Copies of this chain bind each other. A is one copy, B any other.
Amino acid sequence: MRTILLLILLAVSAPIVAQSEDEKQLRAIYDMALTNGKAYDWLNHLSNQIGGRLSGSVQAQQAVDYTKGQLDSLGLDRVWLQPVMVPKWVRGTPEFAYIETKPGLTTNVPICALGGSVATPEGGVKAKVVEVQGIEDLEKLGREKIEGNIVFYNRPMDPKLISTFASYSGCVDQRYSGAAEAGKYGAAGVIVRSMTLRLDDYPHTGSMAYGDTPVANRVPAAAISTQGAELLSTTLKLNPDIKFYFKQSCKQFDDVESFNVIGEIRGTTHPNEIMVIGGHLDSWDLGDGSHDDGAGCVQSMDVLRLLKETGYKPKRTLRVVLFMNEENGLRGGNKYAEVARNKNEKHVFALESDAGGFTPRGFSFDCSEENLAQVQSWKGLFEPYLIHMFVKGYSGADIGPLKHEGLVLAGLRPDSQRYFDHHHAENDTFEHVNKRELELGTATMASLVYLMDKYGTIPDTKIKG
């Protein structure tokens, strides 16, 4: 009986004492984020003074300079640039496309080249259209029906999934591999329905790859707006012999030098244990990349500032990393992990914000059950901030290459409903980011970083031992 009582007392009293201090620190973090956050102002500059930051562009370099300057001003222990060679793909003249129902009778539709695509011949491509619901349809159709035609991938994102990221995952193979696959059957080009759940006039770009397709066999690929896709599909149902014309002049140049932007606060007691907080500084070129991923960058920067301003002295080294080239190469993420390995740096935790600056709902974790259980024991601390989601799952592209046994990888999970309305499109712009939603994300990240630093992750050796 006494033992049970003691256990109960321990179980009840220990968390209460610990919580009280943690509760205070979380409250301080949220208060400062909501009353004196810097993220929104930084994002305003990145978005409205610089704009879209495609790897290798002037804007990407401006963003490197700007964010380094801002980190320099925060009084961190060290700020530096980490060189990395990145691909340079340029869109060129705005793309142009139309549906030709009969010679001379055409309707323009909004398209944009997919990132990494080759250009069309200078006069464009005009051909009949074969509509498919996915790559698996190509084999059934065979070379006979595809050769010389434009393949039109039109499988929409599934609106029934609550996570729009799950809908996206179920469709994005069309965009990424559609051209490489259609090229094998002699297609003249590829048009892909934009990866969004909205019906509107914005084409959404994004990365694609030709794999081992010989250069001579690479076919141009473009995204068409969802309204354009609906029109094209309907028109094809009325007359399968209509033609589609598109022209794009995008070009891949030689790789150029760019940088990851890094700043850190040295840990007081475990300086060799590194905790990374980051987003990616590059974006696509159509909008200004506010949600993808300006938001994640400015949040990550503000996490360090908030912890510093609230007077917290981290035990471990906190490192903000603004990764270059997530969108079309992941060179920054790979370079960062490579350097870390070469230097034998010990990373214990990495958190990425790359799902938009929307109201945070929680985190997904790529880690051991033991570490997940520890995180879930903190749930109560996050309740007042309406943060409920602490699940296993994907963390983030840029921190992925760091993955090793014992490392806790985490991704911020904001509300996902509006993300793909803007993703990789002209309307990914500053006015679609709500200041408070962005700041709540920052505070939620900073709170997790604080707890992870204070209590430490559970090392793999301990779990196994």
Using CB atoms and an 8 Å cutoff, list the residues of chain A in contact with chain B.
30-31, 34-35, 159-160, 162, 164, 197-198, 359, 361, 384-386, 388-389, 415, 417-418, 421, 434-437, 440
Q: Tell me if A162 and B197 are in contact (CB < 8 A).
A: no
Which 6 A/B pairs are nearest by Cβ-Cβ distance? A388-B388, A34-B159, A417-B436, A31-B160, A417-B437, A359-B415
- List 20 contacting pairs A-B, 8 Å CB cutoff, sorted by A: A30-B160, A30-B162, A34-B159, A34-B160, A35-B159, A35-B160, A162-B384, A162-B386, A164-B436, A198-B435, A359-B359, A359-B415, A359-B417, A388-B388, A415-B415, A417-B434, A417-B437, A418-B434, A418-B436, A421-B434
Whole-angstrom CA separation of A389 from B162 in the bound complex = 17
Q: Which residues of B contact A389 (CB under 8 A)?
A: 386
Task: Output the nearest chain B residue to A437 by Cβ-Cβ distance.
Answer: B417
Whole-angstrom CA separation of A436 from B437 in the bound complex = 18
Q: Which residues of B contact A162 (CB under 8 A)?
A: 30, 384-386, 440
Whole-angstrom CA separation of A35 from B421 in the bound complex = 17
Q: Tell me if A197 and B436 are in contact (CB < 8 A).
A: yes
Whole-angstrom CA separation of A421 from B198 in the bound complex = 23
Task: Output the nearest chain B residue to A161 by Cβ-Cβ distance.
Answer: B34
Task: Output the nearest chain B residue to A436 by Cβ-Cβ distance.
Answer: B417
Q: Which residues of B contact A159 (CB under 8 A)?
A: 34-35, 436
> What number of copies of this chain does the assembly contain?
2
Q: Which residues of B contact A160 (CB under 8 A)?
A: 30-31, 34-35
Q: Which residues of B contact A30 (CB under 8 A)?
A: 160, 162
Whole-angstrom CA separation of A159 from B418 in the bound complex = 23
Q: Which residues of B contact A417 (CB under 8 A)?
A: 359, 434, 436-437, 440
The minimal Cβ–Cβ distance linking A305 to chain B, given in whole angstroms, is: 18
Q: Which residues of B contact A164 (CB under 8 A)?
A: 436
Task: Output the nearest chain B residue to A197 by Cβ-Cβ distance.
Answer: B436
Whole-angstrom CA separation of A385 from B386 in the bound complex = 15
The minimal Cβ–Cβ distance linking A425 to chain B, given in whole angstroms, is: 15
The minimal Cβ–Cβ distance linking A392 to chain B, given in whole angstroms, is: 14
Task: Output the nearest chain B residue to A434 by Cβ-Cβ distance.
Answer: B418
Q: Which residues of B contact A361 (CB under 8 A)?
A: 386
Task: Output the nearest chain B residue to A439 by Cβ-Cβ distance.
Answer: B159
Whole-angstrom CA separation of A162 from B441 in the bound complex = 12
Whole-angstrom CA separation of A415 from B360 in the bound complex = 10
The minimal Cβ–Cβ distance linking A144 to chain B, given in whole angstroms, is: 35
Which one of B34, B418, B434, B435 lies within 8 Å of A437 (CB-CB)? B418
Task: Output the nearest chain B residue to A388 by Cβ-Cβ distance.
Answer: B388
Apart from A34-B160, A386-B389, what are 8 other A-B pairs with CB-CB below 8 Å?
A: A35-B160, A162-B385, A162-B440, A197-B436, A359-B415, A359-B417, A417-B436, A418-B434
Whole-angstrom CA separation of A435 from B420 in the bound complex = 13
Whole-angstrom CA separation of A205 from B162 in the bound complex = 35
The minimal Cβ–Cβ distance linking A415 to chain B, given in whole angstroms, is: 5
Whole-angstrom CA separation of A210 from B435 in the bound complex = 35
